[in-house]
Amino acid sequence: MTAAPTGPSVAALMQRLAGGSPDLLDPGVNAVALVADTLVDTCGVVLDRPTRALVRTDVDATDDARAAAALTCWLALAPGLRAAWSAGPAGQGAGAAERVLAAVRALVTELAPSVPPRRWIEDPAGREEAARAFLRAAGLLPAGESAAIAQDRWSAISTAARRDAEREIAQEARRTQELARRLAEQRAKEAVAQYTYV
Amino acid sequence: MTDQPTPERVTAERAEPERDLPDVLGEYVPRSAVALTDAQRWPTQTVAGERALRAVREHPHAPEWVHECGDRLDAGDLAALADLAADYASRGDRGPRARAGFEPAAPPAQPDQPEWVGALVRRVHASVPRYRRIARLHGLDPAALGPLADVAPIGRAELAGGAAGGLADLVPVDVELDRLIEGSSSGSTGSALVIALHPRSVAGDLMLLRHLLRGVGVEWRPEPGRLALASVVAQDAAFTYASTMSAFGHAPMARVNLDPGGWRRPGDREAFLAATDPQVITTSPWPLLELADLDADLHPLAVVSGAAALTPAARARVRDRWGVPVLDLYGLRETGPLAVSTDGGPHVLVPRRIHVEILDPAGTPVADGVRGEIVVTVDDNPYLPLLRYRTGDVAALVHTPAGPALAGLEGREPVRLRRGDGAWSDCINATQLLQAHGLLGWRLHQLAGGDLTLAALGGDPAAARLSLERLLDQPVTVTPVATSAGLGAGKPRRYTSDLPGGA
């Protein structure tokens, strides 16, 4: 398992989000074109037709999806990342284009439904979650953080992770009760014939 | 097969004489745990199967059946088991060899993990509460996992506590519980574990047995008029029942107790066994020795012993008595069968979805040929997938022509014996000596002062005592015992110690 390359710090990305133009939240934004331009700008990759269709499915689904895609592109174009996409660690391993597209997909389909993009700009917790979600999805470690610390802080801030955990824990509690009930039933009590002694 | 399933009918209650059992054995009161109808016990029962079952249940020399249970297999199970049987048959008679991860004649014995293990690691971390919790805690993505070495081993302690404790923590959340059957694993120490069984997995043992018997040249097919299988115990109180094996042509089987108290009249035991002449006998060493001494004309195709080590002398006794293959099957109730010895040599891993590692006390894999704890990963029972389950048993993994095998297998919680000079001696050394003196079974206990007591069944106890004294430089008191009962009840431990650090 090779360590993830290091990207900008969370603070730097939060600062960039805080300075993002409200125009990025405009529902009329052409998110697909924005993603295509970002790929060209960051790593010189032209979006092919099939990939463009896939991107469209994600980013054109709702107003929030378009806004999330625009804000993700805004992060991808951060000064601390631009050089890294083409020549630095972020461009190695999984290619830079794949990293950018993975970030777009994650923030649009996973984060935006639980944390509206407006909060990525206006709310400090929303800013941090979006910044960390971006770095995770792009396979980058926040500058100044080890993998373990980045994971800890992600778990602490992540709305989706918290919801998933709560859902899992509730399911497990129900399951424990169901298992106890099933084992208490007579049909479970009557053994099956055994063939071996082990 | 022209037989049709029989219509559902409730089992007729038959008057049973009361047995005078202690309160603690109340569960053995006849039919106290009976809950189902015959149609629920054998959902695919045939007319011929029911006829065979009735013949065994109502045999004039039958024991007092204390229980009733079937195999619970439905049509889907039978189809899956037929596939499993075909898979085994396609292996021919190459003997035991693991289905995955082992190539014939390809040392080292401790192989890289087979492909299915990585998939199991991912599935378990996504569906089993204990591992989901670990994934949540450490932010692991189950889909990105795979290497078994990253998984911490677990043992009986993690399974303890019943449904509300360890078991619920290990049963996947995405498996329907409607086929769940409670099982238990007593082990040789500690209290019994509650485990969750699936009828299909239990019946898989039968397919495995057929395959293993084929490997020693025995073609096992149901034979009218005979029990296809007798499961034999010898204890004061035990569940006994007659059943049919849906995945084996609905052939009859029975679980019988050699204890005289379980039979209606003197002579019934011998007469019943001779009349039903079981094709395959599955048992454990002490009942097996009792059975070998019984005056009953039996013609088994093979004998399968489990639960405790079968000594070379006991194996020889059985071979002399019936002249048929003797399989010593090793496994745990929670893991199912793991390895088999057909010749008294190392126990060859059986071809199930098992992956065996030998680990040192720190959990690090040891080199081939080095003794350590047997740790097993099993993907067979949908209710209890196990990742790196510590068996508590000790062996070395070696390569044999039949495949990877466990050499020098010793039961759970191996005991160290202290020599007169204060050094420790692995109990495997004593095992080799006691076997060399022909003992059928034994119980060797070291007292706090270092003295030893040896209860010895068969062989040459006096010579065994001298050898032990030379090995350990400690006084040994030997007590020859006439029957296995003298070695203790239940599944006796061969070694015990009062010394700190001994056990």
Question: What is the pLDDT at residue B220?
Answer: 97
Give tens-digit pLDDT for A51-70: 999 999 999 889 999 999 99
Q: Check A198 against B336: CB less than 8 A apart.
A: yes
pLDDT confidence of B35, banded at 50, 70, 90? confident
B432's CB contacts (< 8 A; 6+ apart) are none
Task: From chain A, pick out residues whose CB is under 8 angstroms from the CB of B180.
Answer: 179, 182-183, 188
Give the closest of B173, B229, B241 to A172, CB-based.
B173
Question: What is the pLDDT at residue A164?
Answer: 82
Task: From chain B, pick out residues whose CB is under 8 angstroms from the CB of A176.
Answer: 129, 163-164, 168
Q: Check B255 against A192: CB less than 8 A apart.
A: no
> Which of A166, A169, A195 to mutate to test binding with chain B, by most B CBs within 10 Å of its CB?
A195
Give the closest of A187, A190, A196 to B282, CB-based.
A196
Task: From chain B, pick out residues whose CB is under 8 angstroms from the CB of A192.
Answer: 69-72, 181, 197, 199, 202
Q: Is B122 left (phi over 0), alpha (psi -120 to 50) or beta?
A: alpha
Helix (H, G, I), strand (E, B) or coil at B499: coil
**Distance in angstroms (rounded) separating the CA atoms of residues B468 and B451:** 11
Question: What is the pLDDT at residue B1?
Answer: 37
Task: From chain A, pick out residues whose CB is under 8 angstroms from the CB of B68.
Answer: 190
pLDDT confidence of A1, banded at 50, 70, 90? very low
For residue A182, pLDDT over 50 is answered with yes
Question: What is the pLDDT at residue A2?
Answer: 55
Task: From chain A, pick out residues whose CB is under 8 angstroms from the CB of B164.
Answer: 176, 180
Q: Cα B482 vs. chain centroid, distance in angstroms?
A: 26
Query: Helix crossing, A63-76 with A124-137: angle to 10°?
Result: 70
CB neighbourhood size of A82 (10 A): 16
For residue A155, pLDDT over 60 is answered with yes
| Nearest CA among B331, B240, B250 for reference residue B287 | B240
pLDDT confidence of B414, banded at 50, 70, 90? low
Q: Where are the beta strands (DSSP E) in B248-301?
A: 251-257, 280-283
Give tens-digit pLDDT for B445-502: 999 999 999 999 889 999 999 999 999 999 999 999 987 777 765 555 688 899 987 7
Q: Check A193 against B70: CB less than 8 A apart.
A: yes
The DSSP 8-state label assigned to residue B15 in this structure reads: -
Q: Check A176 against B331: CB less than 8 A apart.
A: no
> Which of A162, A169, A198 to mutate to test binding with chain B, by most B CBs within 10 Å of its CB?
A198
Task: From chain B, pick out residues whose CB is under 8 angstroms from the CB of A191.
Answer: 33, 67, 69, 181-183, 239
Q: Check A193 against B330: CB less than 8 A apart.
A: no
Task: From chain A, pick out residues whose CB is under 8 angstroms from the CB of B171.
Answer: 175, 179
Give tens-digit pLDDT for B79-129: 999 999 999 998 864 444 433 333 333 444 456 788 899 999 999 999 999
Question: What is the pLDDT at residue A45?
Answer: 87
Could you tell me which residue, B35 or A7, shows the higher pLDDT?
A7
Q: Check B196 against A183: CB less than 8 A apart.
A: yes
Q: Which amino acid is at B433?
A: L
Q: Check A193 against B36: CB less than 8 A apart.
A: no
**CA distance, residue B101 to nearest chain A CA (Å):** 23
Question: What is the pLDDT at residue B162?
Answer: 60
**CA distance, residue A39 to nearest chain B CA (Å):** 27
Average pLDDT over residues B128-147: 86
Give tens-digit pLDDT for B193-244: 788 999 999 999 999 999 999 999 999 999 999 999 999 988 777 889 999 9
Question: What is the pLDDT at residue A179?
Answer: 92
Give tens-digit pLDDT for A27-44: 888 999 999 999 998 888
Question: What is the pLDDT at residue B462?
Answer: 94
Task: From chain B, pick out residues whose CB is under 8 angstroms from the CB of A151.
Answer: 138-139
The percentage of residues in chain A with a pLDDT greater than 70, rounded to a whole number, is 93
**CA distance, residue A111 to nearest chain B CA (Å):** 17
Give the closest of B203, B241, B283 to A197, CB-based.
B283
**CA distance, residue B329 to nearest chain A CA (Å):** 7
Q: Which residue of A has its CA nearest to B335?
A: A198
Q: Cα B503 vs. chain centroid, distance in angstroms?
A: 23
Helix (H, G, I), strand (E, B) or coil at B187: coil
Pair B45, B246: CB distance under 8 Å: yes
List residues of chain A with CB under 8 Å from any CB of chain B.
151-152, 154-155, 161, 165, 168, 171-172, 175-176, 178-180, 182-184, 186-198
SS3 per residue for A23-82 = HHHCCCCCHHHHHHHHHHHHHCCCCCHHHHHHHHHHHCCCHHHHHHHHHHHHHHCCHHHH
**Distance in angstroms (rounded) separating the CA atoms of residues B44 and B145:** 41
Could you tell me which residue, B4 or A197, shows the higher pLDDT?
A197
Q: Which residue of B has its CA nearest to A181?
A: B163
